[in-house]
């Protein structure tokens, strides 16, 4: 992103942006978006083709304890069925904005009959949920590698069909707990300051959740401190869906796709991908700041500037879908808006 060629391209993009029929900087963040998307794609005429959101679903062993989540683990499978029958928020927003949607079984504790939903559900199941990290490592090294490769394969297939803009979503009861631990290990922020309510957690349950995750953090800290890399963190406290998103981010960045990051769990996966390849973030646009308390701290750590703040705490990729029109607008003004010369409009200070 920082070669001489890229610098020259950024200068050309900035000149085009500044030469549109508007005061300098008058389109604010849209101008920053246009510049970033052009730089990602390596062109002064960027296009967003076949935009797609992939929702990765997986279960977490800790959910069965009831210590960190008010909903039973079975809700993961129920929501996946809701996704593939078109009834969830992400379905509504994808339909509204013309976004493609793929739902992936990364490791749900349920056997889906995919013949009942042809083309609606991609099965990449690693297992029937991770192991309970209060007692043991969540995944084996082989499971982590398999999940990373599966995420990359999903992105490769979408790219081969012409998609150059992708967002990740997730579903998994207790995955905010896994994301909180990941955030704490990577950022150094105490785990209790990373923990939020997730979906539907009350005050009393939140305190139990914090203490439970402090215990989990302490249990795995020696091993992670000894080898503080993304694969080790995933193995100890990750989720199948989080590992697949990590692999998806890495592949999408290598393909120079525009990556739109959603909320707390998807940003935790991006943190892991960034730990593997620092350049991943160059391709990322951060759609929103979620209502999950740790997310703002996570974004601050990354130096990220999210587009929206709607206090969302749903996941599924909903923030990405809602931010999509802003990306469209940024590209379209760059491509279609008249310049001062073409429109015959005088600049400020000109006679």
Active site residues: 316
The residues, any chain, with a CB within 8 Å of residue 292's CB and separated by 6 or more, are 176, 196, 197, 198, 263, 264, 313
What tokens appear for 328 in the block? 């469209």
Instruction: Give the other-Cβ count within 10 Å of 56's Cβ.
Output: 35
Given a contact cutoff of 8 angstroms between Cβ atoms, the answer to whether 166 and 254 are in contact is no
Q: Where are the beta strands (DSSP E) in the chain?
A: 52-58, 100-107, 121-123, 165-171, 258-261, 284-286
Query: How far is residue 139's CA from residue 128's CA, in Å, rounded to a whole number?
Result: 11
Task: Give, in degrees to the nearest 5, the angle at Cα 46 between 251 and 54.
Answer: 35
Q: How far apart are the first and last CA of the chain?
A: 40
- Strand locations in 263-337 (E): 284-286
Q: How far apart are CA 145 and CA 157, in angstroms?
A: 19
In 3D space, the residue among 85, 140, 144, 142 whose CA is nearest the CA of residue 112 turns out to be 85
């Amino acid at each position: 992103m920082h070669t001489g060629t890229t610098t020259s391209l950024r200068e050309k993009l900035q000149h085009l942006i500044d030469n549109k029929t508007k005061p300098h900087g008058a389109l604010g963040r849209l101008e920053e978006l246009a510049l970033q998307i052009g730089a990602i794609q390596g062109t002064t005429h960027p296009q967003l083709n076949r935009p797609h959101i992939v929702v990765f679903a997986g279960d977490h062993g800790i959910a069965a304890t009831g210590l960190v989540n008010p909903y039973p683990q079975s809700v993961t499978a129920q929501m996946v069925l809701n996704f593939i029958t078109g009834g969830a928020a992400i379905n509504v927003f994808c339909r509204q904005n013309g976004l493609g949607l793929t739902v992936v079984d990364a490791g749900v504790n349920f056997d889906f009959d995919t013949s009942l939903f042809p083309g609606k559900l991609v099965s990449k199941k690693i297992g029937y949920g991770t192991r309970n990290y209060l007692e043991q490592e969540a995944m084996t090294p082989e499971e982590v590698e398999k999940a990373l490769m599966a995420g990359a394969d999903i992105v490769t297939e979408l790219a081969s069909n012409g998609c150059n803009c992708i967002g990740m979503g997730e579903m998994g009861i207790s995955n905010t707990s896994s994301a909180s631990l990941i955030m704490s290990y990577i950022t150094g922020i105490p785990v209790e300051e990373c923990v939020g309510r997730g979906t539907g957690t009350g005050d009393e349950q939140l305190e139990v959740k914090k203490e439970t995750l402090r215990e989990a953090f302490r249990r795995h800290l020696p091993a992670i401190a000894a080898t503080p890399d993304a694969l080790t963190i995933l193995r100890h406290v990750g989720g199948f869906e989080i590992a697949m998103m990590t692999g998806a981010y890495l592949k999408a960045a290598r393909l120079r796709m525009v990556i739109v990051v959603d909320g707390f769990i998807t940003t935790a996966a991006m943190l892991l991908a960034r730990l593997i390849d620092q350049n991943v973030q160059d391709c990322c646009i951060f759609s929103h700041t979620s209502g999950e308390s740790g997310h703002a701290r996570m974004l601050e750590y990354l130096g990220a500037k999210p587009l929206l703040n709607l206090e969302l705490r749903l996941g599924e990729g909903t923030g990405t879908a809602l931010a999509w029109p802003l990306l469209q607008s940024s590209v379209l003004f760059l491509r279609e808006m008249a310049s001062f010369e073409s429109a015959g409009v005088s600049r400020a200070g000109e006679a």
